[in-house]
Amino acid sequence: MILKNIFLYPDLVEFANREQDLLIVKDQTRHICNYLDRRLAVLKFHVDAFNRICVIGKSQSQEMYINSSSVLAVYIPFNMDECRSIKRSELGDYYSKLLKEGLKKCAAKYEIPIDALLSWLEEMKQDGYRNEWIFKEKTFKDHDIKCRLDCALTLDEFTLRLNVSKKGIELFSELILTTPPDEIAFQYKFKDVLIENDNIVVITRMNSESERVLFRTMIPAG
């Protein structure tokens, strides 16, 4: 199996009575975990029995285990009140610390790319915990333009921006999608950028014709 995903969240059963806090923390941790996931996709690290690691915060310790869905669950000490009292400016360091604790615990028993994971977390810290990437960049020679879809994931939201340029000069830049910071909320909402009838069209992954187009705009003059 190839290790594909890292998750960090509070125990769903223990904190079920704090649903709002639980949802906030789950969302906030995705911007760091997604950063790791994208690098794992390039690394393609093979493991024997699991393809996902879930670092789960729990007040009482529990042994790690691999479930029937090939998920390695590892538990770390966690206090919801402490977590929710952390200043927003310090949350990156806080969540990174929790991830490091869980990943090191995994590495003590299983072979995972721990050095790479820790290096990526440090890299992200040095970059101010920014998670930004180019989803797609296409040149349309017939129209002499280049279109680029830029993604950004923060503690609070995911954003998608369409940029259009000609010979290095920006002609158009607009935020075309904002969602909660969770792949489930955004990953199906964009797939490609096309030219149709002198329009720049960003299409989704949806099968329904009525939901096929996320954004459409005329090709800007330039």
- For 208-221, the pLDDT digits (tens) are 888 999 999 999 98
Listed residue (107, 2, 110) closest to 51, CA to CA = 2
Based on the fold, state whether residues 108 and 137 are members of the same structural domain. no
Based on the fold, state whether residues 104 and 166 are members of the same structural domain. no
- For 87-99, the pLDDT digits (tens) are 999 999 999 999 9
As given in the structure block, the two tokens for residue 135 are: 């989803």
76 pLDDT above the threshold of 90: yes
As given in the structure block, the two tokens for residue 208 are: 């329904």
CA distances from 28 to 8, 164, 219 (A): 9, 30, 36
pLDDT at 210: 84
Query: Final residue of a domain: which of 107, 126, 145?
Result: 126
pTM score, whole prediction: 0.94
Based on the fold, state whether residues 15 and 120 are members of the same structural domain. yes
Query: Final residue of a domain: which of 84, 108, 126?
Result: 126
- Calculate what percentage of the chain has a pLDDT beyond 70: 100
Range of the domain at 57: 5-126
176, β-bridge pairs: none
- For 103-160, the pLDDT digits (tens) are 999 999 999 999 999 999 999 999 999 999 999 999 999 999 999 999 999 999 999 9
Q: What pLDDT band is residue 31 in, cutting at 50, 70 and 90?
A: very high
Based on the fold, state whether residues 169 and 110 are members of the same structural domain. no
Based on the fold, state whether residues 182 and 211 are members of the same structural domain. yes
Based on the fold, state whether residues 138 and 78 are members of the same structural domain. no
The count of other CB atoms within 10 Å of the CB of residue 1 is 12
